[in-house]
Amino acid sequence: MLVLGIESSCDETAVSLFETGNPPKLLGEKLASQEKIHVEYGGVVPELAAREHMRNLPILVNGLCQELNIKLSDIDAIGVTRGPGLKGCLLMGVSFAEGFAVARNIPLIGVNHIEGHLNAVLLDNPELQYPFLGLIVSGGHTEIVYAESFGKYKILAQTSDDAAGEAFDKSANLLGFPYPGGATLAKLADTVSSSPYKLPKVMREASGFSFSGLKTAISLLINRTRNPEDSEEEAQKKTAELAYTIQDSIVDALVYKLKKAIKETGVTTVAVAGGVSANQCLRRRISAIRNIKSYFPDFKHSVDNGAMIGFIAAIRLARGEQSPLNGSVVSRWPIEELS
Ligand code: KG4
Ligand code: ZN
């Protein structure tokens, strides 16, 4: 069976096509990023994002079918992100998908975006097996989950304020980089190999994640360090070193909590997912943890993408699942509530 996957929970419109099987086979995928549209507002404008999804979805689906030489009538099922995410954005994807499902009389699967991120690691590493620990680090989520089997997840730690991606983006903004900025900060940080600046070690005692204290410390450090009298060269060097210290401290907090969870659970297989899993420093530091096996998605499947949604839909469809066509979306949907 051919399964179309649709993602529209935030500012990327993305589609994919899978053939069911064990595991499902990715035939193709397409993505339209809206970064250029939101950059002038310093963040995602939900209404603009929703409108773009509506415009992009038919273009991407038709383009993908043409590329793969497949007719719309060849599609046997459709999977779409039902949550979590921005309500207006989710509604665009779900309305499009439900319309398609009704018109073609095919089943629809409502997919959890976070389950998609987590299982994107399996999509790119078929040798990864349940159970494992998942570190999910994106623009909206920072969680460590115990993934017992497909669909059965327990949240062991989560953030009480910002997500790791937000910590990167807000720091990037303080350094003067346009939204989202996380990847730009990381790229600059990787141009130097040390820094004279220090940030406090945070989150050592608390059970979950919290980035608010670190955010304040980062803001103070930047204000203290920058000097309008600096030459351009000196200012550039300082910015790169500040980026290095900021990246190091965010990554350090994530790795500290992950190591703690490994120790507490005794689970030594780790999957790292979500936009921040594209971070090279995080990948290096987790890969260096001794006596564990760590897995990461391909870079294009770290950030939001259509393949992770089609993958879940194809698996759930093969399990005989199907969702009602009632237009519902869920802005908050912890993966613990799945089965
Ligand atoms: O998973 P994702 O694409 O969207 C959400 O579901 O939120 O994650 C986006 C987040 C943004 O905050 C972005 O700045 C961050 O992932 N990100 C990175 C890197 N690439 C993307 N953060 C640090 N280093 C990177 N290389
Ligand atoms: Zn995401």
Q: What is the pLDDT of residue 206?
A: 85
Q: What is the pLDDT of residue 339?
A: 77
The DSSP H or E segment spanning 311 is helix 307-318
> Atom 24, ligand 1: which residue's CA is nearest?
279
Q: What is the pLDDT of residue 207?
A: 86
How far, in Å, is the centroid of ligand 2 from the Cα of 229? 41
Q: Rounded to an integer, what distance in angstroms lies between the CA atom of residue 81 and that of residue 306?
A: 9
| Terminal-residue alpha carbon distance, the chain | 23
Cβ-proximal residues to 215 (8 Å cutoff; 6+ apart), any chain = 162, 167, 170, 171
Q: Which ligand is nearest to the CA of 301?
A: 1
Q: Which atom of ligand 1 lies nearest, measured to the CA of 303?
A: 3
Q: What is the pLDDT of residue 266?
A: 98
How far, in Å, is the centroid of ligand 1 from the Cα of 130? 25
Q: Rounded to an integer, what distance in angstroms lies between the CA atom of residue 242 and that of residue 238?
A: 6
Choose which residue among 114, 173, 276, 335 to substitute to test ligand 1 binding: the one with the highest number of ligand atoms within 8 A of its C-beta. Answer: 276
How far, in Å, is the centroid of ligand 1 from the Cα of 283? 14
Counting as low any pLDDT under 70, the low residues of the chain are: none
Residues with CB under 6 A from ligand 1: 10, 138-140, 165, 168-169, 180, 182-183, 186, 274-276, 278-279, 303-304
304: number of CA atoms within 13 Å, CB side? 26
How far, in Å, is the centroid of ligand 2 from the Cα of 303? 6
Q: Rounded to an integer, what distance in angstroms lies between the CA atom of residue 253 and that of residue 215?
A: 13
Q: What is the pTM of this model?
A: 0.97
Q: What is the pLDDT of residue 202?
A: 85
Q: At what angle do helices 232-265 and 280-287 cross, to 10 degrees?
A: 40
Report the SS3 class of residue 305.
coil
How far, in Å, is the centroid of ligand 1 from the Cα of 228? 31
Determine contact, residues 13/37, Cβ cutoff 8 Å: no
Choose which residue among 211, 303, 305, 332 to substitute to test ligand 1 binding: the one with the highest number of ligand atoms within 8 A of its C-beta. Answer: 303
Q: Which amino acid is at 120?
A: A
Q: Rounded to an integer, what distance in angstroms lies between the CA atom of residue 299 and that of residue 328?
A: 31
Q: What is the pLDDT of residue 205?
A: 83
